[in-house]
Amino acid sequence: MRVAKTTLEQWAVLAAVVDHGGFAQAAAVLNRSQSAVSYSIARLQESLDVPLLVGEGRKSVLTSHGETLLKRARELLNQMNVLEFMASSLKRGWESEIKLVVDAAFPRNRLLRIVAQLRQSCPDTQLQVSDVVLSGAEQAIIEGAADLVVTSRVPPGYLSDWLLDVTFVAVARADHPLLQLQRELTVADLVQHVQAVVRDSGTLNPRDEGWLGAERRFTVSSVEASLATVSAGLAYAWLPDHMLTEPLHRGALKPLPLVTGRSRSVSLHAVLLHPEALGPAARAAAAAFQGDRDTK
């Protein structure tokens, strides 16, 4: 049998350099010295006799050969993670812990209902539930940081189950200057006022989804903080409709009469990171999210 010239560890180091933007950043994530990371990459390229990285200014980027080989290596790394996860599941039976990463747009009352259900079905399993915004869910999937992720975007190579569509509605406090115009509003009107924008919790490929690009924005860390900002009359924002039922009914907030774009819909999907090696608690979590789809 032929002995491989390279190791999965070396490919994991290369992936970390690419994903985190450099040798120093990869070293910090991997808890290694920068020289150890550099040595690992050098040995990998030497063993293959193929250049994988090339310098562009202060950054190192993949060569065309590097892109092709790393793509295949990621598949092998994922398979190794699944194998180790399967071994761990076989050893412990019911998981001692499962990690759920949930997009902040997912209705809070439904999430709490699911958590309560899991508390009954697997009482000895500790649940870790993390809220994420925008690309934070995708990053959790790519980094394998959870057992189940609820996300608005599914990265290539992963399967998912649709859970629900969330409608975001443009709103402001009833006495906001935009509503005093008493006409349909355009982007030119909106950019003259402060927009509340929720900060992307992801760090690999953050995005400003929904931000109109105006300099006048109020950046917050959660949709709850965005709602509080709008309720205080400090900004307008697009917010999930399930959070707006009560304030709209009271008349405290009102929809903005935009010419177009008054609302936008976001589909949320559940992604199981290790479907081939699911433990019973992870299966229960998947069933709880899927079973909740038809529950209002």
Strand-pair partners of 272: 148
Q: Do residues 219 and 197 make contact, with C-beta atoms less than 8 angstroms apart?
A: yes
Q: What is the pTM of this model?
A: 0.68
Residue 89 has pLDDT above 60, yes or no: no
Place of tokens 């190579």: 157
Q: What angle do CA 194, 195, 200 make, to 5 degrees?
A: 135
Mean pLDDT of all residues in the chain? 87
pLDDT at 19: 87
Q: Do residues 149 and 137 make contact, with C-beta atoms less than 8 angstroms apart?
A: yes
Q: Do residues 267 and 137 make contact, with C-beta atoms less than 8 angstroms apart?
A: no
pLDDT at 168: 94
Residue 215 has pLDDT above 90, yes or no: no
Phi, psi at 181, each rounded to 5°: -70, -25
The residue type of 148 is: L
Residue 13 has pLDDT above 80, yes or no: yes
Q: Which residues of 93-132 are buried (b: 16+ CB within 10 A; e: fewer)?
A: eebeebbbbbbbbbbeebbeebeebbeeebeebebeeebb
Strand-pair partners of 132: 103
- Beta carbons within 8 Å of 161's beta carbon, 6+ residues apart: 269, 270, 286, 289, 290
Residue 277 has pLDDT above 90, yes or no: no
Residue 208 has pLDDT above 70, yes or no: no
Strand-pair category, 161-173 with 263-272: antiparallel
Strand-pair category, 126-132 with 195-198: unpaired
What are the angstrom distances between the C-alpha of 41 and each of 27, 54, 239? 12, 12, 45
pLDDT band at 214 (very low <50, low <70, confident <90, very high): low
Phi, psi at 20, each rounded to 5°: -105, 5
Q: Token pair for residue 291? A: 């079973």
The 3-state DSSP class for residue 159 equals coil
217-232 tens-digit pLDDT = 888 989 999 999 999 9
The full set of domains in the chain, from first to last, is 8-90 (1.10.10.10), 93-162+268-294 (3.40.190.10), 165-266 (3.40.190.290)
Q: What is the mean pLDDT of residues 263-274?
A: 92
25-54 tens-digit pLDDT = 888 988 999 899 889 988 988 888 888 888
Strand-pair partners of 238: 170
pLDDT at 207: 63
187-201 tens-digit pLDDT = 999 989 999 999 888
pLDDT at 163: 95
100-155 tens-digit pLDDT = 999 999 999 999 999 999 988 888 788 999 999 888 899 999 888 899 999 999 98
pLDDT at 1: 60
What are the angstrom distances between the C-alpha of 276 and each of 13, 90, 98, 154? 25, 12, 16, 18
pLDDT at 86: 63
Residue 80 has pLDDT above 90, yes or no: no
The rounded percent of the chain whose pLDDT value lies above 90 is 43
- Beta carbons within 8 Å of 108's beta carbon, 6+ residues apart: none
pLDDT at 279: 82
Residue 211 has pLDDT above 70, yes or no: no
pLDDT at 250: 94
Continuous H helices in the chain:
8-20, 23-30, 34-48, 64-92, 108-121, 135-142, 177-180, 187-190, 223-231, 245-250, 280-291
